[in-house]
Structure 1
Amino acid sequence: MAEQAGTSVEEARLFWHTLGLPTGEAEAVAYTEADAQALRRLHEVAGRYEVSPRTAVSLVRAIGHTTDRLVLWQVEALVEQLAERHGLDDVSARLALLDRLGDIVPVLEDQLIHAWRRQLAAIAGRFAAEFGSARVEGPGEDELPLARAVGFADVVSFTRRTAELGPHELAEFVQQFEARARDVVTAAGGRVVKTIGDAVLFVADDAVTGARVAVGLAHAFRGTESPVRVGMVWGRVLSRFGDVFGPSVNLAARLTDEAQPGTVLLDEATAVLLAAGPRYTRTVLEGREVPGLGVLRPVLLDEA
């Protein structure tokens, strides 16, 4: 494969490992012409546009990490569907899926390419809207680059509520939570960064949209068997590896821990940004000692 791609064996091995795939025995016939072509194109483009090895590895790792999770998600969903529809046990459902992959793969592949292109167009549009004006001032030298509303929604007592669920019931619970949370976030104008079983991390491009997402999540699960508590902060973040980082992310997580079921907590600075609008009520709560943050005075947010 390295010879056909015009690279060294070390580069080929790094490419394969970065995709998250195991390397076979030295003499194993484990690679295809398509593998060599993918590596060759990456090598050629990296050289043409002077892409650093670090950046090339990051790009390939993004693909490997995302597609690994995507394939697992899709396969498990199809296995579950076959088991339910045909009354199969788990092993039989997985074998049945193998028989059907030839028909399923082209459809999933087309959908993946279509979705990727649409997501790329969407982010290009957001960049143009946010940074296209010459009057937009960038962050200070010591500031994180992106100003965002960032928040968490966390299922209350997730471990206790799911301890007695069987595999099917647990899968149904997590799937319903993720689907409903994503629907609320996107309908309100936010974006889901990631889900972590019992929690969702979201961002929005302005504080008002962030508040709309946060309150929407709290209300969507209020009165259900899986209420959520929400924390939301406006601040600057670093976006890397499909995730966001920074003090505001940590603060939003701490506020989520402090919130009661079905409620939204803000920090005082974010509450001030929302003061001009009549849409929400803001109630300053008693200060409390939060490990690592000192005394914190959360603000309870709700619709007016």
Structure 2
Amino acid sequence: MMAPDPDAAPPPAGQPAEEKTGPAAYTREELEHAILGADFLETTDEVTAGSGLTLEQARRLWRALGFPERVLEMGYSAADVDAVAKVGAVVDSGAIDFDMAVNLTRAVGQTMARLADWEVATLISRVEQLEASPEATGSRLGSALRIVEEVNGPFEGLLTYAWRRHLAAAVARVEAMGANEEDLHTTAVTVGFADIVAFTELSNRLDEDRLGDLIELFESRCHDVVSGLGGRVIKSIGDSVLFVNESAEPAIETAEGIINVVGRDARMPDVRVGLASGSVIMRLGDVFGPPVNLASRLTAVARRNRVIIDDATAALLSPERFETRRLTARPVRGFGLVEPVAVRRV
């Protein structure tokens, strides 16, 4: 088999890369070209000149996207120039200022970086299947590129659709808040923390593949329950999932649902859920405030496959539907002595 010609021209922009084989079949530049469909012919100065932004502004946007600068290299494509120029045009229109543009760009960069890692990790098993089949290319990278070419078109459309749907939902939430809140960054919610019991011990016993599968299953089951009951998963933090519901009773249902699909499954570890209600600050897709911290602390108090709530949440529950019981006061880091509340359905 002939080695790839290092002087061979890459395929035209937008065309699939010619299939190659062998462990060193693709250079990094060829891989980037095959996925992006563009040649890197621009320097930092050319990006700046073509975008209408200052050099420092262009650099801030590029860093916000999460990419390193290639100051002296021809490391940018015409598409990079166009992307930066479009952001600059929005700023010039007066719709937002430059700092807001940087914040939005950072949100896109961080979200897309995680999405790309998630996509690649998800497709790895399919790549290995292909390379063990008669369809093998002789290169895992070759198979990966073939899958990307087949999958990315439909999923690019799904990405735009999902963003618009979530944007519509977020605007609706802000509109609903506007009727009751003076500060649209602040709202009253019930915050939940679902935590895997004895995760450190578990991670020491399981091999890496099994541990990764378990965490993925835990997160996906939590996400399905939270979404199905009208809540939102804010983030996953290793062995924990942080979520919010707009009111206390759906949060209790969410906590019970997570315990049912995770803690009561003999193949899964036990979980504990802490709930706290109150005012939180919403910034950059995250939530901050005492209820977030208290919900996290309460998971350490909860027994296996049980829900523990705070006073504020207990006060919001219908006594006809839920029975609450105060537990012994105990020190909770950052909150002093706290009387956790156990809850069960009547």
Give the alignment's TM-score, normalised by structure 2.
0.79
The answer for unaligned runs of 5 or more in structure 1 is none
In 1, Cα distance between the equivalents of 2:302 and 2:130? 41
> Between Structure 1 and Structure 2, how many residues are aligned?
294
The answer for unaligned runs of 5 or more in structure 2 is 1-46
- With over 3 angstroms needed to count, the CA separation of the structure-2 counterparts of 1:18 and 1:47, relative to structure 1, is same
In 1, Cα distance between the equivalents of 2:95 and 2:182? 27
Would the aligned equivalents of 2:308 and 2:343 in 1 still touch at CA under 8 Å? Answer: yes
In 1, Cα distance between the equivalents of 2:57 and 2:177? 38
Task: Quote the residue 1:301 is aligned against.
Answer: 343
* Cα RMSD, aligned residues only: 2.1
Task: Quote the residue 1:5 is aligned against.
Answer: 51
Task: Quote the residue 1:188 is aligned against.
Answer: 229
- In structure 2, which of residues 127, 141, 164 is the aligned counterpart of residue 117 of structure 1? 164
Output one character per residue of 1:191-221: Cα deviation in whole Å (capped at 9) or x when no partner: 1001112110000111222222122222332
1:294 CA displacement: 1.1
In 2, Cα distance between the equivalents of 1:238 and 1:92? 48
Task: Quote the residue 1:36 is aligned against.
Answer: 81
- In structure 2, which of residues 129, 154, 174 is the aligned counterpart of residue 107 of structure 1? 154
Matched, 1:67 2:108: no
Matched, 1:248 2:291: yes
Amino acid at match of 1:105: N
- With over 3 angstroms needed to count, the CA separation of the structure-2 counterparts of 1:173 and 1:84, relative to structure 1, is farther
Output one character per residue of 1:59-110: Cα deviation in whole Å (capped at 9) or x when no partner: 100000000000000111001232256549xx95455213432222222211
Would the aligned equivalents of 1:188 and 1:216 in 2 still touch at CA under 8 Å? Answer: no
Task: Quote the residue 1:197 is aligned against.
Answer: 238
Larger Rg: 1 or 2?
2
1:127 CA displacement: 3.0
Task: Quote the residue 2:195 is aligned against.
Answer: 154
Task: Quote the residue 1:279 is aligned against.
Answer: 321
Output one character per residue of 1:172-195: Cα deviation in whole Å (capped at 9) or x when no partner: 111111111111111122110011
- With over 3 angstroms needed to count, the CA separation of the structure-2 counterparts of 1:107 and 1:294, relative to structure 1, is same
Would the aligned equivalents of 1:144 and 1:236 in 2 still touch at CA under 8 Å? Answer: no
Amino acid at match of 2:124: V
In 1, Cα distance between the equivalents of 2:107 and 2:301? 33
- With over 3 angstroms needed to count, the CA separation of the structure-2 counterparts of 1:294 and 1:221, relative to structure 1, is same
Matched, 1:219 2:260: yes
- With over 3 angstroms needed to count, the CA separation of the structure-2 counterparts of 1:69 and 1:214, relative to structure 1, is same
Amino acid at match of 2:344: D
Would the aligned equivalents of 1:2 and 1:9 in 2 still touch at CA under 8 Å? Answer: yes
Give the alignment's TM-score, normalised by structure 1.
0.90
Matched, 1:234 2:304: no
In 1, Cα distance between the equivalents of 2:121 and 2:262? 26
1:171 CA displacement: 1.9
Amino acid at match of 1:79: I
In 2, Cα distance between the equivalents of 1:303 and 1:281? 6
Task: Quote the residue 1:77 is aligned against.
Answer: 122
In 2, Cα distance between the equivalents of 1:160 and 1:96? 37
1:302 CA displacement: 2.3
Residue 51 of structure 1 aligns to a residue whose secondary structure is: coil
